Amino acid sequence: MSITLHDVARLAGVSIKTVSNVINDYPHIRPDTRSRVLAAIEELDYRPNLSARGLRSGRTGAIGLIIPDLRNAYFAELADAVMTAAHKRGLYVLIEQMGGYDKESELAILRGPRMQMVDGILYSVLTLGQEDAALLDIPTPLVLLGDRIYNGPTDHVTMPNVEGSRVATEHLIGLGRRRLLALGAHEDEIIGSAGLRLRGYQDALEATGIPFDPELVVNVQNWHRFDGAEAMRTVIASGIHFDGVVAFNDSLALGAMRVVQEAGLRVPDDVAFIGFDDIDETRYSLPTLSTIDPSREEIAEIAVGWLLERIGAPRGSIAPREHETAIRLVPRESTTLA
């Protein structure tokens, strides 16, 4: 006999409505109540199934999107692009952000009750690595986003991080800048956006004969404006000379650019800036920010389309596919001298 909401409610000592609210992540629930319901769900191995609501196809019409952090403007705009692509195909999107920065948190979301309520999942991996690829072989159709796992058990859609960072660095070198900060590195990272963008930065230096100076590589914890601002304050206080900044995302660039201007330096006259992601804010900052457009809409279109194909096909009938988008340099005022 299948487990029902009644069974979960009875074990947790709450109403059916409360169980439904927990499953749908309703915010105004006491922590101890939420814990009891989740414990009951786990103990009973309850799997919510929206198809029981009478959909003839036996599908929910919903897909899941798991992303690291909606405070990061890139992921907020990616979610918007995914919803647009999904709605065109008659789907709606259930969004989960990871919150934590560890493998257990990611896997708990991927395998949790909310992701059991969807027909397929788009998953932007954050902390899992190539060695964890086998953990993603799950029954629910899945398409991976991002740069942590390649050649995994399913489709993978990403952007050319190395090429994009190389193009950004070459843009500043072409303007005559030679002391370029690489802002946004993660110490010892090789695979992942930070590691790949650092490689693109290094490739551009090598191709133009500029020696690589580790002193110009700026490590940060996260990729928010705050991190860019704090890192730039440290750089300026250290007295390191630089005339350009290759920021590994736009938010870092915007935070750092504000601090540079507060220090009395002119952008781009004294310091040229370029970011990565082409978020909407880059068009309205002062000055407007040069950046790399990673084709966010292309990522969403391909990923949603591939996921829909997997949802409609027998499991294992589609071999894993890889898609890398095109990138585009978007020069703006932060690199253009008047």
Q: pLDDT, tens digit, for every residue of 282-306?
A: 999 999 999 999 999 999 999 999 9
Under CATH, which architecture does the 1-46 domain have?
Orthogonal Bundle (1.10)
pLDDT of residue 58: 57
pLDDT of residue 56: 41
How buried is residue 199: exposed, middle or buried, by Cβ count under 10 Å (0-12/13-18/19+)? middle
Q: What is the pTM of this model?
A: 0.82
C-alpha 256/C-alpha 250 separation (Å) is: 10
Note the CATH number of domain 161-293.
3.40.50.2300
Q: Which residues fall within 8 angstroms of residue 290, CB to CB, at 6 or more apart?
A: 171, 272, 273, 274, 275, 329, 330, 331, 332, 333, 334, 335, 336
Q: Where are the domains of the chain?
A: 1-46, 59-157+298-324, 161-293
Contact 152, 133 (CB under 8 A): yes
pLDDT: is 212 or 108 the higher one?
Answer: 212
Q: pLDDT, tens digit, for every residue of 232-260?
A: 999 999 999 999 999 999 999 999 999 99
C-alpha 218/C-alpha 228 separation (Å) is: 10
Residue 80 above 70 pLDDT? yes
Q: Which residues fall within 8 angstroms of residue 301, CB to CB, at 6 or more apart?
A: 85
pLDDT of residue 27: 65
Helix pair 250-262, 73-88: axis angle to 10 deg: 150
Average the pLDDT over 77-83 and give the result.
97
pLDDT of residue 109: 86
Residue 45 above 50 pLDDT? yes
C-alpha 35/C-alpha 42 separation (Å) is: 11
Average the pLDDT over 317-334 and give the result.
96
pLDDT of residue 117: 82
Give percent of the chain with pLDDT exceeding 70: 93
Residue 51 above 80 pLDDT? no
> Which residue type is seen at 276?
F
pLDDT of residue 155: 95
Using only the alpha carbons of the chain, give its radius of gyration.
23
Residue 55 above 50 pLDDT? no
Question: Are both 59-157+298-324 and 161-293 of the same fold?
Answer: yes
Residue 127 above 90 pLDDT? no
State the chain's mean pLDDT as an integer.
90
Contact 282, 291 (CB under 8 A): yes
Q: pLDDT, tens digit, for every residue of 95-120?
A: 998 866 678 888 888 888 778 789 99
The fold of the 59-157+298-324 domain, in CATH, is Rossmann fold (3.40.50)
